[in-house]
Amino acid sequence: MSKHYSIEKIQEIAGGDEDFMAVVAQTFLDEIPPDLEALQEAVSNNNKELAYQFAHKMKPNFEMFGVEINKEILAIESWTKTSKKQSAIESKLETVVTTVKEVIKELKEDFNL
């Protein structure tokens, strides 16, 4: 079964330092869940400015971990600049939430966190 993230970029940044990789993974686990929750809340409240901020803030973490939800995050960011309702972006947000929850589970298992 394939992972929902890729370790290659982290290994490259860490230069093979396993402890550093674990710290990076723990940082992801500490920061992303509350940000993801805040993004969901911002979308449900139609707070587009806040939704943009959280989507944009999380994007580098997803890229670093090779989480393939960039087009969904970009769609959420684009939605924040429109007058469309939340329903226009709900499926993209659901993909982000589902994928990120899997990444969190896999990181906890892979790094024994």
Summarised one tens digit per residue, pLDDT across range 5-64 is 998 888 998 998 999 999 999 999 999 999 999 999 999 999 999 999 999 999 999 999
pLDDT value for 7: 87
- Whether 2 is covered by a domain: the verdict is no
- Is this structure's pTM higher than 0.85? yes
Residue 18's domain comprises 8-110
Q: Which residue has the higher pLDDT, 23 or 1?
A: 23
- Whether 37 is covered by a domain: the verdict is yes
Give which of 81, 34, 78 is closest to 58, Cα–Cα: 34
Query: Is 72 within 8 Å of 49 (Cβ atoms)?
Result: no
- Whether 48 is covered by a domain: the verdict is yes
Tokens of 93: 């947000």
Say whether pLDDT at 1 is over 80: no
What would the pLDDT profile of 74-98 be if each residue is shown by its tens digit? 999 999 999 999 999 999 999 999 9
Q: Give the HSE-up count for residue 50: Cα atoms under 13 Å, Cβ half-sphere.
A: 13
Length of the chain: 113
- Whether 90 is covered by a domain: the verdict is yes
